[in-house]
Amino acid sequence: MQGRRGEVAAELLTDFPERFRERRRLYLTSPRGLRRELELESHWPHRGAVVLKFRGVDSISDAETLVGCEIQIPRAERVTLPENQVYVADLLGCTVVDTVSGAELGRIEDVQSGSGEALLLVVKAGAKEYLVPFAAEFLGRLDLERKRIEMALPQGLLELDAPLTEAEKRAQRDVDEET
């Protein structure tokens, strides 16, 4: 929340914040997946974020209903990206294939940022979850139409977050007992 008149402070996850100047119709999706269209009355930058004022959201209690929502725009209204750039939303649901091992790792369930330059793809296959850097040096073929991403992953990358084997657990217990 930002103010008494229903303004909302939002984290900027776009590379195109200038587009707020020309947009009046925005779609908000709640954490529960409910979608709602709102009309943007005004906006202004504030401390690395953006403050948004929507028509009909005129109080703190109105604004509280928007907490946790994600602002989305229709695909048809997206900015055309330069070659070799993709929208994060287009990565979700893609199958990741490691071309080195030939293994299909799983599907991208989430994309995380803030841990360095490369985004982290959260790839799930059943109970397993892998964190895979979406880095140009690993990227092979990106086929968004078929929802398939081929990557040449360095040896050992997938084992970084893997659970300990029984032998590793025994070795760890032995070290703990010695200290």
- Each domain of the chain, given as residue ranges in start order, spans 8-76, 88-156
**Level-2 CATH architecture, domain 88-156:** Roll (2.30)
Listing DSSP states for 11-60 in one string gives E---S-GGGGGT--EEEEE-TTS-EEEEEEEEEEEETTEEEEEETT--SH
Percent of the chain with pLDDT over 90: 42
- pLDDT value of position 177: 73
Per-residue pLDDT, averaged over 107-124, amounts to 85
**Level-2 CATH architecture, domain 8-76:** Beta Barrel (2.40)
CA torsion angle for 63, 64, 70, 71 (degrees, to 10)?
-10
Which region among 118-122, 151-155, 156-160, 161-165 has the lowest average model confidence (pLDDT)?
A: 161-165
Residue 1, pLDDT above cutoff 50: no
